[in-house]
Structure 1
Amino acid sequence: MSTSSNAVARMWRTVLPRRGSVARASDRFQAGLLVSVVLLALAALPVAASIGSETYVRQQGESAQQLGERTRVTATLLADGPAITVNSRAGVVGTGAPTDAAWTLPDGARHVGKVIADRGTLKGETLTVWVDRSGDPVDPPLSGAGVVIDAVVIGLGLWLAALALLAACYRLTVFSLDRFRLARWQQEWLQEQDRKTHS
């Protein structure tokens, strides 16, 4: 029989002791608590999966809406992007910055505004940007992969958080039980020593 099977069998015998068992009440309480923690952890899994599924459905709708309202266009820079900055410790540093650019919408209307250009880009270079129905730059829509990743991360994150909370509660309870058992053992030992002294 494997070690894990032995541990499960020992825990089960502690929860439901046989006649003549030496298991203390605190031992049975600890074993019962462990069974409860395992059951709660298993019960938390479908709850977390359900929340992850709801997140997926909601964000999928948002993604479809954003894809319907946003359009990808090619913008041409009307000025140089931010200069490249070099730091002796980190090398090239800094991110993009708003830069003047022009783009044409699908209906032929020309727009001029600010887009985020990478450092070192030059006037006349092109880049792809997302715009709303008014032609103003917006963030890219949620992608299908992003929706799936968000749903998995939220569902798994919630389940792992529940496991961590259950494990912390179990360990704290076991710590308290161990202190109680040690104090009880010391009290019994002192009583036994006192009995031997007076006998």
Structure 2
Amino acid sequence: MPASPTYLLRLWRRVRIGSNPLARCWDRIEAAALLGVVLLSLFAVPVTAALGSETYAENIKVSRDEMRDRRQTTAVLLADAPRENLGEPGVSGGGSARVWAQWVLQDGTKRTGNVVAKIGANAGSAMSIWVDERGDLAVAPTTTRDAVGRAVSAALLAWLAVAGGLSAVFWLLRKGLDQLRYAQWTREWEHIGRDPSWS
């Protein structure tokens, strides 16, 4: 929902450091701090975007290395997968379980190991797995989609950390300024109480 013109006008009046004779020193400091928080948060956007871009480049390099060192092959289940996910040992969440399986390497060597299979899969079922250069089980290589997701997450988290830190500093500064304002008002009320012209 777009901000109303009235809200934007109030925000501008709050941030603008003008020559309002009613504005106290504390008000001007608070306005300057708020303006600084907004400007620094905006300045952090291209910086965190550069971080995201670098994260993407690093993940693409990792993806190329993993694609070079790993290959996909077919494994055959040697046992039935559990019919239900009841939390028994060897059963992971998401409708899958660890099941003993066998696969054949390019040189004809047979390997066995625990692979992640769907709940209810029967012995003899074939499934795709990833193996490394030695033929051992490996996780699927990083994809371009993974690289994009990690880059966006890194940039967004970095910006939120900067904006959150700046907001926390501004909040602490405002609390301190409020204490100074309250102390000043207390002194002014005491002065009014002692001034006979107010009685």
The percentage of counterpart residues that share the same residue type is: 35
For structure 2, which runs of at least 5 residues remain unmatched after alignment? none
Q: 162-171 or 94-103, which moves further after superposition?
A: 94-103
Q: Residues of 2 paired with 1:99 and 1:85: CA distance? A: 13
- For 1:155-194, list aligned pairs within 5 A: 155-194=155-194
Q: Does 1:7 align with 2:11?
A: yes
AA in 1 matched with 2:178? D
Q: 67-76 or 114-123, which moves further after superposition?
A: 114-123
What is the CA distance between 1:83 and its match in structure 2? 4.6
Q: Residues of 2 paired with 1:9 and 1:16: CA distance? A: 9
For structure 1, which runs of at least 5 residues remain unmatched after alignment? 88-92
Do the aligned residues in 1 keep the contact of 2:102 with 2:113 (CA within 8 Å)? yes
Q: 116-125 or 24-33, which moves further after superposition?
A: 116-125
Q: Residues of 2 paired with 1:112 and 1:2: CA distance? A: 68
Q: Residues of 2 paired with 1:70 and 1:167: CA distance? A: 46
Q: 39-48 or 140-149, which moves further after superposition?
A: 39-48
AA in 1 matched with 2:136? D
Q: 101-110 or 142-151, which moves further after superposition?
A: 101-110
Task: State the match for 1:139 in structure 2.
Answer: 139
Specify the SS of the correspondent of 1:122: coil
AA in 2 matched with 1:135? G
Task: State the match for 2:149 in structure 1.
Answer: 149
What TM-score comes out, normalization by structure 1 length? 0.85
Task: State the match for 1:67 in structure 2.
Answer: 67
- After superposition, the CA RMSD in angstroms is 2.4
What is the CA distance between 1:169 and its match in structure 2? 1.5
Count of paired positions: 190
Q: Residues of 1 paired with 2:26 and 2:120: CA distance? A: 69
- For 1:74-85, list aligned pairs within 5 A: 74-85=74-85
Q: Residues of 2 paired with 1:66 and 1:54: CA distance? A: 18
What is the CA distance between 1:198 and its match in structure 2? 9.7
